[in-house]
Amino acid sequence: MSEQGAGGTGRPGDGASSDPPRKTPATPQWPGSLPSPAPHPSAPPSPYGGQLPWRTGPDDTTWALLAHIGGVFFSFLAPLIILLTKGQQSGFVRDQAAEALNFQLTLIIAYVVSVVLIVVLIGLLLLPVIGVLALVFGILAAIASSRGEAYRYPVNLRLVK
Residue 22, domain member (yes or no): no
Give pLDDT tens digits for 26-80: 544 444 444 444 444 455 554 545 566 677 678 999 999 999 999 999 999 999 9
Q: Is residue 71 part of a domain?
A: yes
Identify the domain containing residue 69 by its residue range: 58-146
- Residue 68 resides in a domain: yes
Per-residue model confidence as pLDDT tens digits over 76-132 = 999 999 999 999 889 999 999 999 999 999 999 999 999 999 998 899 999 999 999
Q: What is the pTM of this model?
A: 0.66
CA quadruple 139, 123, 154, 101: dihedral sign: negative
Number of domains composing the chain: 1
Contact 102, 157 (CB under 8 A): yes
C-alpha dihedral sign at 14, 16, 17, 21: negative
* 3 state SS of 19: coil
Q: Residue 9 contacts by C-beta under 8 Å, 6 or more apart in sequence?
A: 16, 17
